[in-house]
Structure 1
Amino acid sequence: MQSKLLLYPVGDLDTALPFFTEALGLPVKFRDGDRYCALDAGALTLALVAGEERLVEQPALAFKVDEAEDIAAAVTRLVEAGAAVAQPPAQGPHEARAVLHTPEGFALVLSAKLAPAS
């Protein structure tokens, strides 16, 4: 798994965005309506999430599951290592995703590309 994403929940993208773009100077990489905005923070992407994309209430690391492993297998592996499932794998608008808590209780989000429709 690779992580270069920090999910940062906000109440409203339009209200939150100027602080990050103007005050902090982070450029927008991608925006998806009122629910998701990826900002370039160097080696890390800061993802402002609102509405249905607000899977967590506190900032959380997000990991993309390697294509060779499906999200259910990744969740099982992490649970065996001490994580707890907060939200089981479910299909989101662009990917499958799950929310776990680390053994220390911090949120961790997994995502995986959806299988192509046949």
Structure 2
Amino acid sequence: MKTSLLLYPVENIDTALPFFTEGLGLPVKFRDGSRYCALDAGALTLALVAGAERLVAQPALAFRVEAEEDIGAAIARLVEAGATVTQPAAQGPHETRAVLATPEGFALVVSAKP
């Protein structure tokens, strides 16, 4: 798995975006309407998520596995290491994703492209 991005939940992308683009100077990499906006934060993509894409209540790291068939194995490996599944793997608009809780209780998202 590789670190893909940091999911940052917001109520409204249009309202939140100026803080990140004008205040922090982060350029927009990709936007999908009012539900997802990827910002270039250097080595990490900061993804503002709202509406149906708001999978987590607090900022959370998201890791991507290389192939969709690997997501089940990745989830099993994380559960074996102490994580718990809070939202099972489900197809989203652009990828399959699951939400887990780390042993410390923090959200962690695992995803795979189809």
TM-score of the superposed pair, with normalisation by structure 1 = 0.93
Over residues 22-52 of structure 1, what are the superposed CA-to-partner deviations in whole Å (9 max), with x where a residue is unaligned?
A: 0100000000000000000000000000000
Question: 3-state SS of the aligned residue for 2:89?
Answer: strand
- C-alpha distance in 1 between matches for 2:68 and 2:100: 20
Report the Cα offset of residue 67 of structure 1: 2.3
CA distance in 2, matches of 1:69, 1:82: 22
Structure 1 pair 103–38 and aligned structure 2 pair: CA distance change class (3 A): same
Segments ≥4 residues shifted beyond 3 Å: none
In structure 2, give the amino acid aligned to 1:36.
Answer: Y
Q: CA RMSD in A?
A: 1.1
User: Which residue of 2 is the match for residue 81 of structure 1?
Assistant: 81
User: What's the counterpart of residue 24 of structure 1?
Assistant: 24
Aligned residue for 1:55, secondary structure, equals coil
Unaligned stretches of 5+ in structure 2? none
Match for residue 100 of structure 1? 100
Q: Aligned equivalents of 1:80 and 1:16: distance in 2?
A: 37
**CA distance in 2: counterparts of 1:3 and 1:56, whole angstroms:** 17
Q: Is the 8 A contact 1:4 1:43 kept in 2?
A: no
Write the distance in 1 (CA, Å) between the matches of 2:11 and 2:77: 33
Q: Return the offset for 1:69.
A: 5.3
For the pair 1:12 / 2:12, whether they are aligned, the reply is yes
Residues 97, 109 of structure 2: 8 Å contact kept: yes
**5+ long unaligned stretches in structure 1:** none
> Aligned residue pairs: how many?
114
Partner AA of 2:36 in structure 1: Y
Please give the alpha-carbon distance, in whole angstroms, between the structure 2 residues aligned to 1:95 and 1:68.
8
